[in-house]
Amino acid sequence: MREVAIIGVGAHPSGQFSGKSLKEIAHTAIWNAIEDAGIGPRRIETAYVGNSIGGLLTGQEGVRGQVILQHSGITGIPVVNVENACASGATALRGAWLEIASGAVDVAVAVGAEKMFVGDTARSISALASVSELDLSEMGMQFTTVYAIHPKINIKKKMSDYGWSLADLAKPAVKNSFNGSLNPLAQHRRRLSMDEVVNSRVVVDPLTLYMCSSISDGAAAAILCPAEAVSRYSSRKPIRIASCVLRSGAYRLPGDTAPDSATIAANQAYEEAGVGPKDLGAVELHDAMAPAELMLYERLGLCGLGEGPRLIDEGITTLKGSQPVNPSGGLCSRGHPVGATGLLQIAELVWQMRGEAGERQMEQPPKVTMAQNQGGLLLGQDSAAYAITILKQ
Amino acid sequence: MPLSDSFYPEGSDGGPCLRGSRCSECGTVVFPKMPVCPSCLCNGVMAEAGIGRTARLFSHTIARVAPKGFQAPYYQAFADLPEGPRIFTLIGSECPIKEGVLRDGMELRLIIEPLAETPENRDVLAYKYVPAGKDRADA
């Protein structure tokens, strides 16, 4: 396998863009990435396009990738449509990475795009629910519920097991809203106080409104080439993909004591990249509901059981800390246009590593970073897709 | 599988039951039915089993927003069936929707009723659980 580098990234801001279609939103991200790399669009040899619920919400059920790319002037090349729920973006990246790592092509683009505002919020929520196995969604199960009471997360139970308070659950939302307030691409740019998060209306007990990511339109893209050939294509400082791991959930029987699938994926990614949790200079992780960030600290090996709130209290995961988490603002603040999220995470980490993240730039550009993206839910009590990417300077 | 195929309104004892499957090799019980045992990975050894006439509440919450076809507020819950599976379930409409009515660990019994009182779902029958016996909400 060849080592692969990211030479260009681009994004469309996240938020409500009622006058824009899915392909228009994607166009901004794709061409920002092309121009960022400084590469001619004809050099792109293959594309992986991630989108999750565009079929249900826009009616374009098939060939969304080709439709999106044609609108951006990219035609004729092999296009692979990627659907992997909220992990569609990271899964698209992995496809492009494999194409280059295997030697099949030299330049590939990974795109993630989602259009969730369609003028009917209940329809958007239903479409989102459908990325769970149908047996669950037709019974009215929602993702907020999954985070609140699902056996594999069960924030409610963590409150009693760990003694976490509502204020503890709110800490990631408060921290990330500050990061998002500095990010011009973020959907929600208002800095939230602890009182505002704790006292916002309850969506699904114990989760309040400001602890939940909202529906969003957005897109991101990345251009990849072999690390050894970067100078042939781009003058940008290359960011290397040290590992790119994808797993599906396991069937969990009650009493199953095996490690969480996010942990299994992270451990594989650490091993392949030859680094450990302490080496990470920044992390973008999947805080679809803010308290999930506390759980993911544990699962990615950043702290021990129940210690999540301490990482924020001590400033370790804040923007000025030693291991900033979600410098972009994360899913709750930057936004969660589901099929785009995985690549929005990658774009943020690339900007931070290059020192191009504007007002939210970390003091020292990080040398090693991780993106953690996951999505969907199966009857077997696990998420459907788990993706971990580790980047190196 | 279609929701209507996931339960019998009247099982062998006259009351409702869920249609799970049991592995004849290792005894693992799953719901909904599967053709392969997720535990021992044997194929073709799963036999249908009527299960879940009772359950124990594992976790629950009240959703304050609803997707199309449902009305907020409504309960969402996970329940442990005595045969083994831990399943997602709704709570029957006889149970008042307010904090403190349900307690994790309480005994439940299976009922069949409309999925939701909405135009989309009032004619769709679904399995749900309600507090059983001495744990009855109105007791």
B21 touches chain A (CB under 8 A): no
The third-level CATH classification (topology) of the domain covering A132-212+243-392 is Peroxisomal Thiolase; Chain A, domain 1 (3.40.47)
Q: Is B109 left (phi over 0), alpha (psi -120 to 50) or beta?
A: beta
Contact B71, B116 (CB under 8 A): yes
CB atoms within 10 A of CB A337: 34
Query: What stretch of H or E contains B129?
Result: strand B125-131
Contact A384, A247 (CB under 8 A): no
Close Cβ partners of A62 (under 8 Å, ≥ 6 residues apart): A55, A81
Question: Which two tokens mark A11?
Answer: 């994004």
In chain A, CATH 3.40.47.10 covers 4-120+216-241, 132-212+243-392
To the nearest whole angstrom, how far is the Cα of B124 from the nearest Cα of chain A? 11
Asked if residue B129 and residue B62 are part of one domain, the reply reads yes
Determine the residue of chain B that is closest to A154 in CA distance.
B59
Among the partner-chain residues B64, B84, B90, the one whose CB lies closest to the CB of A203 is: B64
Q: Which domain holds residue B47?
A: 3-51
Q: Tell how strand A108-115 and strand A46-50 pair up.
A: parallel
Asked if residue B26 and residue B62 are part of one domain, the reply reads no
| Nearest in space to A144 (alpha carbons), one of A319, A290, A294 | A290
Helix, strand or coil, per DSSP, at residue B102: coil
**pLDDT tens sequence for chain A (393 residues):** 999 999 999 999 999 999 999 999 999 999 999 999 999 999 999 999 999 999 999 999 999 999 999 999 999 999 999 999 999 999 999 999 999 999 999 999 999 999 999 999 888 988 988 888 888 888 988 888 889 999 888 999 999 999 999 999 999 999 999 999 999 999 999 999 999 999 999 999 999 999 999 999 999 999 999 999 999 999 988 999 999 999 999 999 888 889 999 999 999 999 999 999 999 999 999 999 999 999 999 999 999 999 999 999 999 999 999 999 999 999 999 999 999 999 999 999 999 999 999 999 999 999 999 999 999 999 888 899 999 999 999
Is a pLDDT exceeding 60 seen at residue B78? Answer: yes
Asked if residue B68 and residue B39 are part of one domain, the reply reads no
Q: Is A67 left (phi over 0), alpha (psi -120 to 50) or beta?
A: alpha
> Which of B51, B69, B91 is the C-terminal boundary of a domain?
B51
Reported as a single tens digit per residue, the pLDDT across A2-52 is 999 999 999 999 999 999 999 999 999 999 999 999 999 999 999 999 999
Helix, strand or coil, per DSSP, at residue B59: strand
> CA dist A330 to A175, A181, A211, A362, B52, Å?
10, 11, 11, 15, 40
Asked if residue B130 and residue B103 are part of one domain, the reply reads yes
HEC string for chain A? CCCEEEEEEEEEEEECCCCCCHHHHHHHHHHHHHHHHCCCHHHCCEEEEECCCHHHHHCCCCCHHHHHHHHCCCCCCCEEEECECECHHHHHHHHHHHHHHCCCCCCEEEEEEEECCCCCHHHHHHHHHCCECHHHHCCCCCHHHHHHHCCCCCHHHHHHHHCCCHHHHHHHHHHHHHHHHCCCCCCCCCCCCHHHHHHCCEEECCEEHHHECCCCEEEEEEEEEEHHHHHHHCCCCCEEEEEEEEEECCCCCCCCCCCCHHHHHHHHHHHHHCCCHHHCCEEECCCCECHHHHHHHHHCCCCCCCCHHHHHHCCCCCCCCCCCECCCCHHHHCCCCCCCHHHHHHHHHHHHHHCCCHHHCCCCCCCEEEEEEEECECCCCCCCEEEEEEEEC
A156 touches chain B (CB under 8 A): yes
pLDDT score of A161: 95
What's the one-letter identity of residue A379? L
Asked if residue B125 and residue B71 are part of one domain, the reply reads yes
Burial of A105 (0-12, 13-18, 19+ CB in 10 A): middle
Asked if residue B12 and residue B65 are part of one domain, the reply reads no
Best of A253, A289, A381 to disrupt the B interface (most B CBs within 10 Å) is A253
Could you tell me which residues are beta bridge partners of residue A82?
A: A50
Asked if residue B41 and residue B79 are part of one domain, the reply reads no
- Largest pairwise CA distance in chain B: 46
Determine the residue of chain B that is closest to A121 in CA distance.
B67
Partner B, chain A 251-290, Cβ-Cβ below 8 Å: 251, 253-254
* CB pair distance less than 8 Å for A157 and B59: yes
Query: What residue has token string 């450990």?
Result: A276
Cis peptide before B131 (omega within 30 of 0): no
Asked if residue B68 and residue B112 are part of one domain, the reply reads yes
To the nearest whole angstrom, how far is the Cα of B120 from the nearest Cα of chain A? 11
DSSP code, position B5: G
To the nearest whole angstrom, how far is the Cα of A382 from the nearest Cα of chain B? 12
What are the phi and psi torsion angles at B103 (to 5°)?
Answer: -125, 130
DSSP code, position B73: S
Query: How many domains does chain B contain in total?
Result: 2
Q: What DSSP letter does each residue of B9-45 carry, written as one string? A: SS-TTSS-EEEEEEETTT--EESS--SB-TTT--BS-
> CA dist A151 to A304, A316, A343, B48, B136, Å?
19, 29, 28, 25, 24
To the nearest whole angstrom, how far is the Cα of A150 from the nearest Cα of chain B? 7
Instruction: State the Cα–Cα distance between residues A197 and A188, nearest whole angstrom.
Output: 13
Q: Residues of A with CB below 8 A from B65's CB?
A: 125, 142, 144, 203-204
Determine the residue of chain A that is closest to B65 in CA distance.
A203
* CB pair distance less than 8 Å for B63 and A149: no
List the catalytic residues of A: 86, 336
Average pLDDT score over chain B: 92
pLDDT confidence of B139, banded at 50, 70, 90?
very low
Instruction: State the Cα–Cα distance between residues A159 and A306, nearest whole angstrom.
Output: 9
A129 touches chain B (CB under 8 A): yes
Contact A341, A89 (CB under 8 A): yes
Is a pLDDT exceeding 60 seen at residue B136? Answer: no
HEC string for A315-362? CCCCCCCCCCECCCCHHHHCCCCCCCHHHHHHHHHHHHHHCCCHHHCC
* CB pair distance less than 8 Å for A140 and B58: no
A205 touches chain B (CB under 8 A): yes
Asked if residue B126 and residue B80 are part of one domain, the reply reads yes
- Look up the ipTM and state it: 0.90
Q: Give the HSE-up count for residue A37: Cα atoms under 13 Å, Cβ half-sphere.
A: 31
Reported as a single tens digit per residue, the pLDDT across A116-163 is 999 998 889 889 888 888 888 889 888 888 899 998 889 999 999 999
Instruction: Please state which CATH number belongs to domain A4-120+216-241.
Output: 3.40.47.10
Asked if residue B78 and residue B26 are part of one domain, the reply reads no
Asked if residue B72 and residue B22 are part of one domain, the reply reads no
B116 touches chain A (CB under 8 A): yes
Size of interface A-B (CB pairs under 8 A): 94
